[in-house]
Amino acid sequence: MTDGTGGAQRRSGEFGHVPVLLRRAVELLGPAIDAAGGDAVFVDCTLGMGGHSEYFLERFPGVRVIGLDRDTEAIATATRRLAGFAGRFTAVHTRYDGIAEALDSVGIPARGGVDAILFDLGVSSLQLDEAERGFAYSVDAPLDMRMDGSSELTAATVINTYTVADLRRILSTYGEERFAAKIAAAIVRRRESAPFRTTGQLVELLYEAIPAAARRTGGHPAKRTFQALRIEVNGELDSLRAAVPAALDAVTVGGRVAFMAYQSLEDRIVKRALAERSRSRSPQDLPVELPGTGPEFQLVTRGAERATEEEIAENPRSAPVRLRCARRIAGS
């Protein structure tokens, strides 16, 4: 057992990133793992490069970790990183909404068989840092943005084939881009002469389409468009809507689940699901709560926690994070 994050963070540097909110994740999920003793099961629903899983494996010598990821490169990287924990770590190639099937495949009950679950949502450090995958607007790369390279839909397909109405919809809904209509129209006009192939071509158009005054505030002008395309290509919000209830079902009484969201669309889905499962279903005018209608979960965090200044200084990618955690207090 280790007392700090030093060992995990040293190895994180070797793999190109420092996992977000390591200490706080352990503070929130650790009590459930400790209570389960040597039979504890922890599911890392967003395995990535394995940083969070590594720390939990080090911190809790008896825990069994199941890591899920749709990205085969992430699975390979994390498996190499965690090779020293053979017998306690299993990687499963799946989206996080496949948690029930993943648990079944490794012999763990999909309802009530897990003690702690962690979601670290959004794009991973591995995906951001590999320029050729097209997630970053700061470098010119193919318009790809697939988290799973075996899937068919790419950002280039979206940009070059979607109607102006559909482009406007995804930019507005998934990117919350106030210039969605203007950008969508500009994309359709530009692609009539030649299809978009690289992120640089798209960024150039965005600088032209977004008014100069708006470009000076609110971060990089491509930020919202790239977010919208990534969400569309990977079906992220639909996957999350299915994954949250499945994860809550998987947690045993006394178990805990934590979510790290990086934008309001993700956080809103998590917040609503946790609120629904944390309230009583008894009629409000009854003097007592009916059996089986009480809340299943209790919120552990008060609202959404944010990263500290120290954490942000250590890991700038933690700046937008919103962290929520809940504990199961009753069976379904």
Whether residue 254 is found in the same domain as residue 122: yes
Whether residue 66 is found in the same domain as residue 186: no
Task: Give per-residue pLDDT as tens, 221-249.
Answer: 999 999 999 999 999 999 999 999 999 99
CB 175 within 8 A of CB 224: yes
148 in a known ligand binding site: no
Whether residue 59 is found in the same domain as residue 147: no
69 in a known ligand binding site: yes
Task: Give per-residue pLDDT as tens, 76-103.
Answer: 999 999 999 988 999 999 999 999 999 9
Q: Give the model's pLDDT for residue 12.
A: 42
- Residue scoring higher pLDDT (168 or 287): 168
Domain containing 188 — which CATH number?
1.10.150.170
Domain membership flag for residue 1: no
Q: Of the candidates 208, 234, 260, which is a domain's last residue? A: 234
Whether residue 92 is found in the same domain as residue 241: yes
262 in a known ligand binding site: no
Q: Give the model's pLDDT for residue 134.
A: 83
Whether residue 254 is found in the same domain as residue 117: yes
Mean pLDDT across 50-60: 95
Domain membership flag for residue 177: yes
285 in a known ligand binding site: no
255 in a known ligand binding site: no
The residues near 273 (Cβ < 8 Å, ≥ 6 apart) are 244, 245, 248
- What's the pLDDT band for 130 if we cut at 50, 70, 90? low
Number of domains in the chain: 2
Q: Of the candidates 195, 218, 234, which is a domain's last residue? A: 234
Q: Which domain holds residue 15?
A: 6-126+236-328
Whether residue 210 is found in the same domain as residue 263: no
Position 314, amino acid = E
Mean pLDDT across 212-217: 83
Phi and psi at residue 325, to the nearest 5°: -140, 145
Domain membership flag for residue 150: yes
CB 270 within 8 A of CB 122: no
Q: How many CA atoms lie within 13 A of 314 on its CB side?
A: 17
Report the alpha-carbon distance of residue 286 to residue 137 in Å, rounded.
Answer: 56
Domain membership flag for residue 30: yes
115 in a known ligand binding site: no
260 DSSP β-pair partners: 120, 323
Report the alpha-carbon distance of residue 328 to residue 262 in Å, rounded.
Answer: 24
Whether residue 288 is found in the same domain as residue 198: no
Between the alpha carbon of residue 120 and those of residues 37, 65, 75, 111, the distances in Å are 25, 15, 15, 21
52 in a known ligand binding site: yes
- Residue scoring higher pLDDT (73 or 128): 73
pLDDT at 113 over 80: yes
- Residue scoring higher pLDDT (127 or 263): 263
Nearest CA among 125, 129, 177 for reference residue 317: 125
Whether residue 273 is found in the same domain as residue 308: yes
322 DSSP β-pair partners: 261
What is the average pLDDT score of the chain?
Answer: 89
Whether residue 92 is found in the same domain as residue 214: no
Q: Give the model's pLDDT for residue 5.
A: 36
Whether residue 227 is found in the same domain as residue 119: no
Mean pLDDT across 123-137: 72
The residues near 107 (Cβ < 8 Å, ≥ 6 apart) are none
Q: Kindly compute the dihedral angle of the four CA atoms of residues 302, 259, 306, 310, in this order, to the nearest 10 degrees.
A: 130
Domain containing 20 — which CATH number?
3.40.50.150
Whether residue 99 is found in the same domain as residue 160: no
pLDDT at 194 over 90: yes
Instruction: Name the token pair of 127.
Output: 């995906």
Q: Of the candidates 217, 234, 251, which is a domain's last residue? A: 234
pTM for the whole structure: 0.89
pLDDT at 297 over 90: yes
Whether residue 186 is found in the same domain as residue 250: no
Report the alpha-carbon distance of residue 13 to residue 113 in Å, rounded.
Answer: 33
